[in-house]
Amino acid sequence: MATLLCIDTATPVCSVAIAEEDIILCTREHADYNSHARELTILISACCEEAGLKLHAIAYIVVNIGPGSFTGLRIGVSAAKGLAYALGKPIMAVPSLLAIAYQAASVKPSDYYLSAIEARHGKVFAAMYDRAFHEVSPPSLVTADEFVKLYKQQSSCTVCANFTLEPSGAFAELTDKYVMIKSAATLLIKPALMLRERQQFADLARFEPMYIQPFGKL
């Protein structure tokens, strides 16, 4: 059984988890938005200590590549690459929207999953996946109205988001049709195992965070 180290710095919560296949051994989080760079290595060390593992015993590095916080993504991906280089381990790069869809499927099975992550200025990052978690609509930055239009393209679609859809405004018609999913490193485990099964490993020298929009352009 392989051990996975999962890193998620795409949101204000810096999160780390270690799993043996799909069994969670430990998890650590820190919610101070401006401390990801300082806290990430501390969380990794704490998880390894709790799990009784040395870093070299980790078989795979898993990282959330976004979309999400520009600075947070750079920190998480840089750390994951550094560990992978130092340990000689492969990386699975999991999009944040895929992780949310995968979790929603265990709560509310559907033919399609429309995932959302809150962005700025009333916009959201969104992507749609089918029941086999192949992209139907790639990650993009959309307005609330555009998000609702995406939802209406499919007759059997579960909406899933890492934030609360307010019962007024453009999201009003979706507030009783969505699943709230809290972003965390543990959400990366099952989609990472799916990527491993498909042999979809990240190119360590080339892969980058999924920014969607340049810094400062949201």
Q: Does domain 97-180 have CATH number 3.30.420.200?
A: yes
Which residues does 132 contact at the CB level (< 8 Å), separation at least 6? none
DSSP, res 168: S
Strands in 31-90 per DSSP E: 60-66
Which range has the worst mean pLDDT, 106-110, 121-125, 191-195, 198-202? 121-125
Contacts with 117 (C-beta within 8 Å, 6 or more apart), sequence order: 10, 11, 67, 68, 96, 97, 100, 124, 125, 126, 161, 162, 163, 183
pLDDT digits (tens, 9 = 90+) for 90-120: 999 999 999 999 999 999 999 999 999 988 7
pTM above threshold 0.85: yes
| SS3 at position 106 | helix
Domain edges within the chain: 3-95+184-197, 97-180
Q: In this structure, are residues 12 and 5 in contact, taking their beta carbons and an 8 Å threshold?
A: no
CATH topology of domain 3-95+184-197: Nucleotidyltransferase; domain 5 (3.30.420)
Residue 177: its pLDDT value, please? 80
* The pLDDT value given to residue 214: 53
3-95+184-197 shares its CATH topology with 97-180? yes
